[in-house]
Structure 1
Amino acid sequence: MNPPLSLSGELDLLVPITALLPITALLLVSQSNPYQTLVLRGILGSVATLLYALLGAPDVALTEALVGTLLSTTLYAVALRSSMALRLEDRRSAPNPNQDLQLSAWIAPLHLRLRWQSGENHGWLNDNGELVLLQAPLYRKLQASQGYGQWCASGGVLQLAAEAQP
C-alpha cells in the first residue's frame, strides 16, 4: 500500500512556481508586441512543465513540454513570421531608398515588415509617395500611428482605395 501524498516537504518549492503561472499568463495576455508574446508563451509552458514534474506527473509534464510548449511555440513563430508583413506593390517608376526607409520606420512600431511583391497585396505605392491601401482597418491603424505625421510632412500621402471604402 502506498503512503498518502504529502506535499509538506515540497511546499516551499511549489508555491513560488505555482505563483509564476498566473503572473506569466497575465503578462502574456497584456502584451501588444507579438514577439514578446511568443517568448512569454514559451516561458508559460516551461513553468507548467516544471510544475507537473514536481507534482509527480511526468507523463503530463512531457506532453506539456512537447505539445504545449515546443509545438505550439514553433507553430506560432511560423504564423507570426508569415503574417506580420505589409505587402505592397511597387508602382513607382524608380525605387526611392529614402522613401523605403521612411515607410519601414513608419510601420516598425506596429511590428510589421515591408515586403515588395506583386500579386495579392495590402496596397501599392505610387511615384509621388502616395500609399494606397485596400484594407480600411490597416488604413486607420497607420493613420493613428506616430509615423503618419512624418510621412505627410515629407510629402507622402495615405489613401484608402476606392474599392475598399464602404
Structure 2
Amino acid sequence: MKSKYSAAQVFLHWLSAVIIIWGTLSGFMVALFEPAFEHKAWVGFVNVSLTTLFIPFFVMRLWFAFRHGKPNDHLLSSREEKLSAIGHALLYLNMTIVMLSGVLMMDRPINVFDWFSLPQPIENESITRVFNRVHIFSCATLGLLVIGHVLAVVKHQMKGKALLRRMSW
C-alpha cells in the first residue's frame, strides 16, 4: 500500500504551487493596483517566461497524476475522496485553461527570459482579446480553487488527517 506520493509527484506539486501562487499574486497585483510601468513590464516578462517554461512540467504532472495515482492510506472517507477527486480535476482543468489562454492571448512573440522566443500563435487581435478575457476569468477561478485546496488541507490537518505528510519529501 502506497502511503506517499512519488518524489516526482512531490516535486511537481510544489513547483506548481510556487509558480501558480507567484503568477496569481503578481498578476493580480499588477491588474488591481497601478504599479510603475517598469514594474508591470518586469512582472509580465517574468510571468510569461516562467509559465511558458512550466508548461512541460505541468504536462508531466498530469501524466504522473493519472499514471501513478494517489496514496492508498485511507485517510479520507469515501465522500471526502470523491470531493478531493472533483477538486483536483477542477484544478487541473482550470490550470490547463489558464496556460492555454495565456499562450493564445499573446499579442507578440513569446520571449522566454531572452533565451529564446516563440512566435505569436494568433495574429487576429479580436481573437487574442477573447483569449485574454478567458485568461483573466480562469486566473480568478484558479485563485479561488487554490484557496479552497489550501483550506481543505488545513481542515484535514486540524482534524488529525496528515495529508501534508503524503506530499512531503
> TM-score of the superposition, structure 2-length normalised?
0.31
Structure with higher strand content = 1
Structure with higher helix content = 2
Greater relative contact order (Cα 8 A, min sep 6): structure 1 or 2?
A: 2
Structure exhibiting the larger radius of gyration computed from Cα positions: 1
